[in-house]
Amino acid sequence: MKLSLEACEVLDAIDKKGSFAAAAAALYRVPSTVTYTIQKLEEDLGIMIYRREGRRSVLTPAGKVLLEQGRELLKAAQNIVETAKQVDSGWESQITIAIDTIYDIDKLYEVVEAFYQLQTGVEVNIIEEVLAGSWEAIVENRADLVIGGPSPEINTQGIAFEEIGVAEWQFVVAKNHPLSQIKLPLSEEDTKPFHSIMIKDSSKKSPSMTHRIFEKQTVLRVATMEQKISAQVKGLGIGFLPTHRILNHLKAGTLIPLSITKEAALTPLFMGWRKNNKGRAIRWFIDKLRDYRQE
């Protein structure tokens, strides 16, 4: 073929590194080899890939198409290699785990630590999602495994899921917050003057999910559970937080639990994976997580 994976790799490196010289260094080649590869590709295909603009080389429209489609070829080649390795050993070269922001990541780290002891060479990637975003990650193949997701409200065809724990919620305020001086249980009118802190659903296409919303209140929206906890500790607002994520703050007294008329129900937490994913690493994590069920 006139277009090789090596040429695609060179085009990708030039674009990412910003120059022929930087690309050569990244690929551990001399600059003349990179220049020759591009010139040979232009000659073989009969098109101009780069044009000179002053002292810079700029991709032509045809060059941009080669770059974008070439990256797809590189990705496809990588998938072929990974599939072959998996068939040979049963272990994936890498896996991606989407952890919902409610889940205690220290629990996952315990599992990862046990996995590393197997010395499989599998690369583990962890991403953080919120509510429907957790399931969207598995549906769109951005993740191989979801941990701590809410009760699925999507078309679960082709996806297996099971409950791995339950989250208990407490209404908490910062130390010395005005609400701590009011007669309990708190009513909706008591909480109305204060900002409610919410975590924004990370889904891009699925309908957003919300939980434990206070009506008639202004809202401070944050991206993760860690940010919500920090904001409440600083007294920027109020809201429910999962007990397992704030034990240290409750013990230290930086967050104060208060009874409220509108208590939050327990929330089941799920893990999920694609049924056709037979990778050995994913199956190991699924089995191990059953032993690490969140209390």
Q: pLDDT per residue over 14-45, tens digit each?
A: 999 999 999 999 999 999 999 999 999 999 99
CATH number at residue 24: 1.10.10.10
CATH number at residue 253: 3.40.190.290
* pLDDT value, residue 270: 94
CATH number at residue 100: 3.40.190.10
Q: Are residues 221 and 286 in the same domain?
A: no
The Cα 256–Cα 1 span in angstroms is 68
Q: pLDDT per residue over 161-205, tens digit each?
A: 999 999 999 999 999 999 999 899 998 889 999 999 999 988 876
pLDDT band at 155 (very low <50, low <70, confident <90, very high): low
Q: Which of 105-109, 154-158, 177-181 has the lowest mean pLDDT?
A: 154-158
**Per-residue pLDDT at 84 exceeds 90:** no
Q: Do the beta carbons of residue 48 and residue 63 sit within 8 Å?
A: yes
Q: Are residues 134 and 182 in the same domain?
A: no
Q: Which two tokens stand for residue 178?
A: 């005005």
Q: Are residues 177 and 236 in the same domain?
A: yes
What b/e string do you get for 77-90 counting C-beta neighbours within 10 Å, with b at 16 or more? eeeeeeeeebeeee
- Give the predicted TM-score (pTM) of the model: 0.70
* pLDDT value, residue 208: 62
Q: Do the beta carbons of residue 158 and residue 275 sit within 8 Å?
A: yes
Query: What would the mean pLDDT of 245-263 be, rounded to a whole number?
Result: 94
Q: pLDDT per residue over 263-291, tens digit each?
A: 888 999 999 999 988 889 999 999 999 88
Q: pLDDT per residue over 214-235, tens digit each?
A: 666 788 999 999 999 999 999 9
Domain final position from 57, 72, 88: 88
Number of domains in the chain: 3
Neighbours of 163 (CB within 10 A): 11
* pLDDT value, residue 173: 96
Q: Are residues 63 and 136 in the same domain?
A: no
* pLDDT value, residue 214: 63
What is the pLDDT of the chain when averaged over all its residues? 89
**Per-residue pLDDT at 78 exceeds 90:** no
pLDDT band at 295 (very low <50, low <70, confident <90, very high): very low
**Per-residue pLDDT at 294 exceeds 60:** no
Print the domain residue range for 113: 94-160+269-291
